[in-house]
């Protein structure tokens, strides 16, 4: 026992720098030879940086009339102005804040519910599984977007907080389904049985033994939920069911639509938020594609695989296969 | 060509993030038709890696970097995909370490048997079924069992089914990678006896991989001993077993008890196997060897003929030139 503790003590003093180094190495290994991760990560970090530093990057107040209506992109207003004379560039930055925060919080809510329901029904089984599964099925058969539209219309012009909660609470069942199935598959594996025999508590088994095996599914589901929530938020916004006085990508599209921006030739008012949505969605999808490699150690590739390919090629050439 | 299979200077590497580990290093051996060659050695010494290399089953990050594997005059490592598919199972079949897990749990054993037959031969389903029943009878299972699922059979029966699948196409060579490790001694004995009857009947060769030296001494004609990727001793089973010459083989044989004869104190081999990423200069076994010399730290030993048909790779033994 003392020996083990000593080892820990020896390891720790040199750790901060080494930890950083190994973290960088891991990051490098993740992005190396993984184009979707590189492109997706780059795009998403641009979008996130834009939203995060919106107050600093914006040139005008997004809610004030700062120009004549429908000014084409120029030096003063790089993405033009809207029908009501607001600066599109500043609006898209500030709108990103709202849209992304709604989408991400809705994703977090949905995935938390999905993990809770999925893992407990998968792991505990029996009555708990029966009831939770019934609940999942009920939520699954609700048509989601119509439900959202009805709820949003019923509640009147709702703020982004209500939309976040609505989206979060309605988009968990698919994730819960998948997680439940995966948990059931893992539960019957021998390492779980051995953990039970060793006397580990149920919570430890769920958190330490099962959850790490679900990381790729949970994270993939989370990105999917974020993607969906972003689209749904914009969809509700376009339909005018969100709060049109708040600046978000959805409400920008709504105002572009109602002021018939495309008919009058003001394409920038419509295209800028649409492209912002498309880029963010694409980035999320690309990251989702590359996430499997990170969470599953068996699939992990790294710089050494390149060496393998080189050596394999050399060996093939020696044998006259190439 | 007197030899069925000849392996020349085979090297297999594992490319890992921490460097390239050579799991099989310059191994050369041959198997004659109808012969049983045993490969022994402790865990991680490259036995299974060698077996996998023969039927070219390695996937990245493993790499067969050097050498050749010549089967009936043709280099397995140079075959294209079609030749390789024909070669596998028609000529060489494999019984895996966890043979019980190599059966698909959702398909009946009959289907798994006929699958093999129909993938390689142009026969009707009915003929394949008949052949499958015949095969099951050969390994001592009643033909009625054709419709059973693997979980309905006992471990020993599953093992027999796997052997039946290996025999399906009457290959010339069967590679057995610790086929009886998971079984108890009674079943092990039964299966090995059966295997021997089959061998005399069909005349195939066996490459038998195991860490069980006493078992090996009984069933193998020749034994090769591996340590850290090197073949360190190769010779007639009786010779290797009775008069081991390499210190490692001596240690292995001294570390298990005899059933007959007086009770003796057993001696294991001290230390741990070498780290394949940090191979020392000279002999791989130097750190654990009790009789290490200066030359052991400097030069890597190579296989030397010490008697007719007995090769040892150690600086302590003298090469006999004329034999």
pLDDT > 70? residue A303: no
Q: How many helices (H) and strands (E) does chain B have?
A: 10, 12
Q: Which residues contact A306 (CB under 8 A, 6 or more apart)?
A: A33
3-state secondary structure of B31: strand
Averaged over A215-221, what is the pLDDT? 84
Q: Residue A39, Cβ neighbours under 10 Å: how many?
A: 15
Please identify, among B137, B152, B170, the residue that sits at the C-terminal boundary of a domain: B170
Name every chain B residue with its beta carbon within 8 A of the beta carbon of A316.
none
- Segments forming the whole domain that contains residue B208: 5-91+171-312
Residue A10 banded pLDDT, cuts 50, 70, 90: very low
Averaged over B78-96, what is the pLDDT? 86
Distance CA A110, CA A286 (A): 21
Q: pLDDT per residue over B53-84, tens digit each?
A: 888 888 778 888 888 888 888 888 888 888 88
pLDDT > 50? residue A9: no
Res B219: pLDDT: 86
Res A299: pLDDT: 59
Most confident residue range from A191-195, A267-271, B301-305: A191-195
Res A3: pLDDT: 44
Q: Do A319 and B20 touch (CB under 8 A)?
A: no
Average pLDDT of chain B, as a whole number: 84
Res B279: pLDDT: 82
What count of CB pairs under 8 Å joins A to B? 33
What is the full DSSP assignment across A128-190?
Answer: HHHHHHHHHHHHHHS-HHHHHHHHHHHT-S--HHHHHHHHHHHS-HHHHHHHHHHHHHHHTSH
pLDDT > 60? residue A201: yes
pLDDT > 50? residue B323: no
Averaged over A240-267, what is the pLDDT? 82
3-state SS of chain A: helix, strand, coil percent to 5? 75, 0, 25
pLDDT-wise least confident of A1-10, A230-239, A294-303:
A1-10
Q: Which residues contact A313 (CB under 8 A, 6 or more apart)?
A: A322
Contact A79, A88 (CB under 8 A): yes
Please identify, among B170, B188, B219, the residue that sits at the C-terminal boundary of a domain: B170
**Radius of gyration of chain B measured on its C-alpha atoms:** 21
Interface with chain B: mutation pick from A304, A305, A322, highest number of B CBs within 10 Å: A304
How far apart, in Å, are the Cα atoms of A126 and each of A119, A183, A206? 13, 14, 17
Of the candidates A21, A294, A310, the one whose C-alpha atom is nearest the C-alpha of residue B15 is A310
Token couple for B100: 């019980």
> Which residues in chain A (25-84) have CB-CB distances under 8 A to chain B?
29
Based on the number of CB atoms within 10 Å of its own CB, is A10 exposed (0-12), middle (13-18) or buried (19 or more)? Answer: exposed
Residue B209 lies in a domain: yes
Q: How far is B108 from chain A (nearest CA, A)?
A: 22
Residue B119 lies in a domain: yes
Q: How far is A322 from chain B (nearest CA, A)?
A: 10
Residue A32 banded pLDDT, cuts 50, 70, 90: low
Considering CB atoms only, which of A307, A319, A320 is closest to B15?
Answer: A307
pLDDT > 90? residue A131: yes
ipTM value = 0.71
Contact B273, B42 (CB under 8 A): yes
CATH no. for residue B287?
Answer: 3.40.50.300
Residue B202 lies in a domain: yes
Residues B175 and B231 in one domain: yes
Residue B321 lies in a domain: no
Interface with chain A: mutation pick from B17, B66, B69, B78, highest number of A CBs within 10 Å: B17
Taking the Cβ of residue A302 and every Cβ of chain B, the question of whether any pair is shorter than 8 Å is answered with: yes
Residues B203 and B300 in one domain: yes
Please identify, among B140, B170, B200, the residue that sits at the C-terminal boundary of a domain: B170
Residues B84 and B219 in one domain: yes
Considering CB atoms only, which of A303, A308, A319 is closest to B78?
Answer: A319
End-to-end CA distance of chain B: 21
Residues B199 and B287 in one domain: yes
pLDDT > 90? residue A245: no
Residues B150 and B180 in one domain: no
Q: Do B17 and A303 touch (CB under 8 A)?
A: yes
Residue B323 lies in a domain: no
pLDDT-wise least confident of A148-157, B129-138, B271-280:
A148-157
Q: pLDDT per residue over B245-254, tens digit each?
A: 888 888 888 8
Tell which CATH classification among 3.30.230.10, 1.10.3720.10, 1.10.10.10, 1.10.150.170 matches the domain A88-318: 1.10.3720.10
Q: Is A175 left (phi over 0), alpha (psi -120 to 50) or beta?
A: alpha
Residues B72 and B182 in one domain: yes
Token couple for B78: 């140079």
Residues B19 and B161 in one domain: no
Distance CA A301, CA B59 (A): 14
pLDDT-wise least confident of A240-249, A278-287, B20-29:
A240-249
Residue A1 banded pLDDT, cuts 50, 70, 90: very low
Average pLDDT of chain A, as a whole number: 82
Name every chain B residue with its beta carbon within 8 A of the beta carbon of A312.
60, 63
Closest-CA residue of chain A to B60: A308
Residue B24 lies in a domain: yes
What is the full DSSP assignment across B145-181?
Answer: GGG--GGGS-HHHHHHHHHHHHHTT--SEEEEESTTT
Residues B192 and B293 in one domain: yes
Averaged over A101-118, what is the pLDDT? 92
Residue B81 lies in a domain: yes
Q: Is the Cα dihedral B46, B51, B53, B56 positive or negative?
A: negative
Contact B26, B9 (CB under 8 A): yes
Q: pLDDT per residue over B194-247, tens digit each?
A: 888 888 888 899 999 988 877 888 888 999 999 888 888 998 888 888 888 888
Res B320: pLDDT: 65
Bond into B110 cis (ω within 30): no
Residues B110 and B249 in one domain: no
pLDDT > 90? residue B299: no
Q: Residue B205, Cβ neighbours under 10 Å: how many?
A: 23
Res A111: pLDDT: 92
Residues B305 and B193 in one domain: yes
Averaged over B295-322, what is the pLDDT? 80
Q: Which residues contact B261 (CB under 8 A, 6 or more apart)?
A: none
Domain boundaries, chain A: 88-318
Based on the number of CB atoms within 10 Å of its own CB, is A184 exposed (0-12), middle (13-18) or buried (19 or more)? Answer: middle
Look at chain B and report how many structural domains it folds into: 2
Residue B288 lies in a domain: yes
Bond into B61 cis (ω within 30): yes
Contact A226, A106 (CB under 8 A): yes
- % residues pLDDT > 70 (chain A): 89
pLDDT > 50? residue A11: no
Residues B72 and B211 in one domain: yes
How far apart, in Å, are the Cα atoms of B5 and each of A115, A170, A222, B223? 55, 64, 54, 15
Taking the Cβ of residue A319 and every Cβ of chain B, the question of whether any pair is shorter than 8 Å is answered with: yes
Residues B162 and B241 in one domain: no
Averaged over B92-119, what is the pLDDT? 85
Q: pLDDT per residue over A40-79, tens digit each?
A: 889 999 989 988 888 888 787 877 777 777 777 877 777 8
pLDDT > 90? residue A108: yes
- % residues pLDDT > 70 (chain B): 97
Of the candidates B257, B247, B254, the one whose C-alpha atom is nearest the C-alpha of residue B296 is B247
């Amino acid at each position: 026992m003392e020996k083990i503790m000593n080892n820990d003590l020896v390891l720790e003093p040199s750790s901060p720098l080494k930890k950083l180094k190994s973290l960088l190495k891991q990051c490098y290994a993740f992005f190396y030879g993984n184009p979707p991760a590189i492109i997706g990560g780059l795009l998403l970090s641009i979008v996130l940086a834009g939203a995060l530093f919106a107050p600093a990057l914006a040139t005008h107040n997004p809610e004030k009339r700062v120009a004549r209506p429908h000014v084409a992109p120029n030096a003063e207003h790089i993405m033009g102005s809207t029908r009501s004379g607001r600066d599109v560039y500043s609006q898209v930055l500030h709108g990103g804040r709202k849209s992304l925060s709604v989408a991400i919080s809705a994703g977090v809510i949905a995935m938390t519910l999905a993990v809770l329901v999925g893992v407990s029904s998968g792991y505990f089984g029996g009555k708990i599984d029966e009831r939770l599964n019934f609940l999942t099925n009920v939520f699954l058969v609700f048509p989601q977007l119509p439900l959202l539209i009805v709820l949003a219309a019923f509640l009147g012009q709702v703020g982004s907080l209500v939309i976040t909660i609505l989206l979060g609470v309605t988009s968990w069942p698919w994730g819960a389904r998948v997680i439940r199935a995966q948990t059931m598959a893992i539960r019957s594996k021998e390492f779980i049985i051995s953990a039970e025999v060793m006397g580990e508590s149920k919570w430890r088994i769920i958190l330490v033994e099962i959850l790490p095996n679900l990381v790729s599914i949970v994270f993939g589901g989370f990105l999917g939920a974020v993607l969906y929530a972003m689209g749904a938020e914009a969809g509700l916004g376009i339909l005018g069911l969100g709060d049109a006085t708040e600046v978000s990508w959805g409400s920008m599209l709504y105002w572009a639509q109602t002021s018939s921006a495309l008919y009058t030739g003001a394409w920038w008012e419509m295209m800028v938020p649409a492209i912002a949505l498309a880029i963010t969605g694409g980035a999320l999808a690309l990251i989702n594609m590359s996430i499997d490699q990170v969470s599953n150690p068996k699939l992990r590739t790294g710089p050494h695989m390149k060496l393998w390919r080189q050596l394999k090629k050399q060996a093939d050439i020696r044998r006259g296969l190439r | 060509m007197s030899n069925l299979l000849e392996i020349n200077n085979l090297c297999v590497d594992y490319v890992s993030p921490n460097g390239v580990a050579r799991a099989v290093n310059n191994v050369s051996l041959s198997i004659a038709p109808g012969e049983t060659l045993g490969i022994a050695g402790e865990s991680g010494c490259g036995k299974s890696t060698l077996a996998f290399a023969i039927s070219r089953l390695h996937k990245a990050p493993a790499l067969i970097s050097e050498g050749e594997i010549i089967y009936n005059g043709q280099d397995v490592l140079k075959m294209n995909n079609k030749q390789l598919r024909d070669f596998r199972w028609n000529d060489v079949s494999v019984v895996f370490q966890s043979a019980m897990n190599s059966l698909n749990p959702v398909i009946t054993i009959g289907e798994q048997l006929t699958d093999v037959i129909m993938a390689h031969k142009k026969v009707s389903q009915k003929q394949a079924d008949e052949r499958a029943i015949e095969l099951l009878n050969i390994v001592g299972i009643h033909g009625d069992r054709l419709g059973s699922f693997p979980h309905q059979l006992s471990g020993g029966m599953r093992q027999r089914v796997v052997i039946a699948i290996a025999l399906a196409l009457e290959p010339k060579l069967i590679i057995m990678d610790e086929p009886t490790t998971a079984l108890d001694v009674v079943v092990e004995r039964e299966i090995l006896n059966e295997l021997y009857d089959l061998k005399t009947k069909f005349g195939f060769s066996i490459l038998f991989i195991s860490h069980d030296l006493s078992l090996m001494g009984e069933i193998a004609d020749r034994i090769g001993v591996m340590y850290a990727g090197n073949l360190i001793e190769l010779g007639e089973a009786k010779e290797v077993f009775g008069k081991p010459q390499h210190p490692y083989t001596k240690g292995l044989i001294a570390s298990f008890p005899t059933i007959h004869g007086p009770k003796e104190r057993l001696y294991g081999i001290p230390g741990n196997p070498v780290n394949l990423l940090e191979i020392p200069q000279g002999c791989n076994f130097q750190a654990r060897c009790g009789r290490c010399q200066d030359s052991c730290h400097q030069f890597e030993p190579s296989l030397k003929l010490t008697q007719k048909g007995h090769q040892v790779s150690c600086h302590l033994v003298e090469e006999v030139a004329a034999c």
